Structure 1
Amino acid sequence: LNTRKPAITGKKSLQVIKNTNSKIVNLNYFYKNAKSNIYSSKQSFQKILSTMINDDDYFEKSFSVNNIPFWSCIKQSFFKMCSTRFTESIERIFLLKEFLTSYDIALNFLWIDVGQEEKECIMMGKQFSIDSVMIQHGRFQTSKIWDKFATFLGQFPRPMLSDKQIVWGETTKKYALSYDHPEKNIIIGGSPRHDKFFNHNEKKSSNGNIILATTGTMFLSADTCTSNSQIRYDDYFREIYRIIKSLNGKKLIVKSHPSQILRKIVQDLINELDTSITLVENTDNQELFSDCDMVITFNNSTTALEALSLGTPVISLQTESWALEDDIAQSNAIVSISN
């Protein structure tokens, strides 16, 4: 069940589906049975929202900085967003109920605890006595700046909705224990998708390829999603292109982030600079990073660890100061470049 992007993105993912005898769930299949409940619930919600939108006194107190309200600036866009996202949730919740009623589901695996869709799956699963297991899917951030966001992030938020959590290793487990998460629920399972990186025995060849693994700006807090953050990111991209183009025998290959929004940002930059730049998507990172001279990434992304495990040199472009505090940067495992 994937409500964000297609479960099959190429031949390899199709083969996995076939080999594991998996089924792809389309929740819209259950719409007919849930249609009346969805419609009436959406109508009830819109009535509640229409009443709330006029309570300016309450919202002006909630949306203010130094006693200066900014509610009037965001009122219309805020309620438009609430209307869109909440009605999406109403629909999915009823569709999930129909799905879980129709199928005998034993366990729910998910990548993150705090996503809108994941919360709906977890909480609806609880109504059917279905346990949920969160699987760590990305590098654990160690910079202190993340502490202030810890209760809202996907690693170990508060409250923890999933019943069990499978983590890569001791670092993530110790972090979870420091926030009083029960040790009995935390399982060290490594990262099966990265086992092949450490078991890779082929000799590296120098072919002149330099991979720029893009991530986009960090839309985490107000100070990391400003215009300046995006400008810094764009400027780094342009400078990397300029330098590599000036080097004989070197070729820039850009690997985009899976996010559709971040991919568009990359595509726009390529269209601006040079449409002949190779842009790759849905690739096998092991093959890509083992067949290049160097990997360049941003703010110590997971791709940095993947490249290092293959013995590929890594440069991390640190667009945010907190990235320099990460253990991977402090240990000089990578070359950090910052303003």
Structure 2
Amino acid sequence: MSTNLVLLFERFHINDELLENLNDPNSVIFALDYYSHKQLDDMEIKHEILDSYLTTSDLSQLNKTILNISTTWYTDPTIEKELLFENINLGWLLEQELYPSLIQTMIIFFSLIKIHKKLNPNSILVSNSISKLVLTIFSNSIISIIEDEKSEKEYWNFDVFPIKYNLGPIPITLRLPRKAFFKIRKLYEQFFIPFFNNIFSKFDKKNDSVLLVDFNPSLYDVFFKKISSQKRNIFLLNRKRAAVWNFNSFKIVKNNECILGSYEQYLKKTDHEFIQNESVLINKKLEKLFSNDQLFSKIFSIDGISFWNYFSQYFKNFCKDRFSEAIYEIISSKKFLSKIKPLLIIHFYEVALQEKILIYHARKQNILSMVLQHGTPHVSFPNFSEMNSIHGTIPIYNDKKIAVWGPIMEKYAIEHGIQKNNIIVSGSPRHDSYFNLKKQKSDDDGLILVVLGQLDKKNAGSQLTNTYIQYEEAIKVICKTLKKITDRKKIIKLHPGDMKWKSVMVEPLINKYDPEVQIMVDANLPRLIQSSSVVISVGLTTVLLEANIFNKPTMTILSDPQERLSASSSGNTMFFNSNEQEKFEKTLHQILYVRETSEHFINKGNEFVKQYLANHGTASEFLANSIDKLILD
């Protein structure tokens, strides 16, 4: 009996040929991802999920291969020779963005290899956008193409910058294309920053300078006050988001007389011409380099089978775009640092393209730099420490400083090569305001607050279709439970990151199962937590720790079972699976209406806060004094 294979990816266009194949009893139908699975489910078509064939051993092999490709492809001597620009290998700058974007492609590719060993179909009907991947493996089958619902694919996570806010009760999300963001940023640097600095900023040549990179003033208000009181010039360099974007951030930056830094203010016409010429030159080098299909086919492969024929259509343009950006950053950051001459740089995320370049030049110019912990990393997650070049939890240079929130992260840093004398156990400056707010008397308004974590691209296991399904099921469990509770206000706070790129579309789900619940994308989170009776999360998030600080019980539904291993690093909470609705409802009811249960959760949270955070409410002062001592020494 002949077998027809139907392979569907993302959202597909339905036509007569596809319907005929879907209803053919000889067809074996696979959903290659969450979106195609959802569409088939809605059509009530029986199908299999492609990546369900992957074993634990397969996932381990995938994780190692993805990490290896992301961090070594550019080290091939032929490639490195062409990618060196001012002694920086431009490929090294792409690690953090390449890694998560490879995960889904390699999951599908490896799954197809496994299916090919079991099936030898006569014909294959496949979604257009994934057809090159299928052709590589099923070269002897007759292949027909199904048109995708969208011709344009968003392959790279950071090609879009999400901007979220609430217009009254209505959540608004704008998705700004990367190039548009850079154009707006350039105008902001050329016009707003000089205007602001001339009127509100204070620069004294007699004083030393400190550079703060990509700080959100609204989160670090207390720290800004402490560090600006030390009679130093405080420069703010924000490459990923504006330092001043609303009245609150304006007020904080103005009151502390910070100086808005920009690359544009130091670049001349000749610099721009040089950058443009070098960008043209690197593009010519890339065209020549990418003509060597044999070299790249060998690198972008698994089990000796290459996926380069498919991946190259995305990767080539990605390199051209990012390398042009990198050349701008390399020339500009070097000039910027030489002009403002800071004694210290404080930043969060050393593995991002912009910060890699900035810190590279800082080290060349003998400028001290310090990484400041900015969240609760999943340090117990499988193979987490091996991926530091991707997530940047500790410095990529083990001789530099790091300020951590408490003894747990201090221990982790020491175990992974950071010398104890380079570690400042400061506590969390961003949470000083939480502790200060906690001291104020505030009545519990009875709010049930739900916060949605992001479907992070941590490894292959975190991107399986079933992980997405469980995320959706978690939202269903919460919404169905909340609908039964009529005497409480209910808010679901969305994650601030982009939840439309390879993620679950949560807003339609929420409206379907509980249209009465309020959805918020932008909010005063400390106030929301403070007014709540319980905080519920989908996945692990720093908000759990913040709820612990405010003496709020917490509950968490996990979509990724690997996250259970990270329980010790995100806050004290009670875990549930998405198939435990009855248990979830019962526990929530006890927290809301049985005082002893609520107090038990609160006590556990207090214990976690004591263990995880140092210097409660005084972290900003401690860090500012440590910085003062570091500079004076």
TM-score (norm 1): 0.89
Q: Which moved more, 1:128-137 or 1:194-203?
A: 194-203
Matched, 1:50 2:290: no
Q: How does 1:177-326 map to 2 (within 5 A)?
A: 177-199=414-436, 200-203=438-441, 205-259=443-497, 261-262=498-499, 268-271=505-508, 273-274=510-511, 277-326=517-566
In structure 2, C-alpha distance between the alignment counterparts of 1:151 and 1:78, rounded to whole Å: 20
Partner of 2:240: 4
In structure 2, C-alpha distance between the alignment counterparts of 1:267 and 1:152, rounded to whole Å: 23
- Which of 308, 323, 327 aligns to 1:90? It is 327
Deviation of 1:14 after TM superposition, in Å, equals 1.9
Change (3 A) 1:258 1:31: farther
Matched, 1:334 2:603: no
Would you say the 8 A contact 2:539–2:556 is kept in 1?
Answer: yes
Matched, 1:147 2:376: no
Change (3 A) 1:211 1:330: closer
Q: Report which structure shows greater RCO (CA 8 Å, sep ≥6).
A: 2
Letter in 2 for 1:92: E
Q: Which moved more, 1:261-270 or 1:297-306?
A: 261-270
Deviation of 1:150 after TM superposition, in Å, equals 3.6
Partner of 1:36: 273
Larger radius of gyration: 2
Would you say the 8 A contact 1:165–1:186 is kept in 2?
Answer: yes
Question: Secondary structure of the residue that 1:24 maps to in structure 2?
Answer: strand
In structure 1, C-alpha distance between the alignment counterparts of 2:306 and 2:451, rounded to whole Å: 40
Structure 2 gaps, min length 5: 1-236, 579-633
Partner of 1:119: 356
Letter in 2 for 1:250: R
Change (3 A) 1:154 1:122: same
In structure 1, C-alpha distance between the alignment counterparts of 2:503 and 2:305, rounded to whole Å: 37
Structure 1 gaps, min length 5: none
Structure 1 residue runs of 4 or more that deviate by more than 6 Å after TM superposition: 263-267
Deviation of 1:180 after TM superposition, in Å, equals 2.1
Q: Encode CA deviations 1:149-198: one digit per residue, 9 max, x unaligned.
A: 245321125444x7211111121111111122222211111112213333
Percent identity of paired positions between Structure 1 and Structure 2? 24
In structure 1, C-alpha distance between the alignment counterparts of 2:569 and 2:356, rounded to whole Å: 33
In structure 2, C-alpha distance between the alignment counterparts of 1:281 and 1:20, rounded to whole Å: 28
Change (3 A) 1:206 1:170: closer
Deviation of 1:221 after TM superposition, in Å, equals 1.7
Change (3 A) 1:329 1:26: closer
Partner of 2:250: 14
In structure 1, C-alpha distance between the alignment counterparts of 2:355 and 2:410, rounded to whole Å: 21
Q: Which moved more, 1:118-127 or 1:197-206?
A: 197-206
Change (3 A) 1:54 1:183: same
In structure 1, C-alpha distance between the alignment counterparts of 2:501 and 2:298, rounded to whole Å: 37
Would you say the 8 A contact 1:30–1:98 is kept in 2?
Answer: yes
In structure 2, C-alpha distance between the alignment counterparts of 1:239 and 1:128, rounded to whole Å: 55
In structure 2, C-alpha distance between the alignment counterparts of 1:330 and 1:46, rounded to whole Å: 43
Would you say the 8 A contact 1:215–1:262 is kept in 2?
Answer: no
Q: Encode CA deviations 1:27-57: one digit per residue, 9 max, x unaligned.
A: 3344444201211210121111111111111
In structure 2, C-alpha distance between the alignment counterparts of 1:144 and 1:193, rounded to whole Å: 24
In structure 2, C-alpha distance between the alignment counterparts of 1:112 and 1:217, rounded to whole Å: 19
Would you say the 8 A contact 1:143–1:322 is kept in 2?
Answer: no
Change (3 A) 1:265 1:48: closer
Question: Secondary structure of the residue that 1:326 maps to in structure 2?
Answer: helix
Would you say the 8 A contact 2:446–2:488 is kept in 1?
Answer: yes
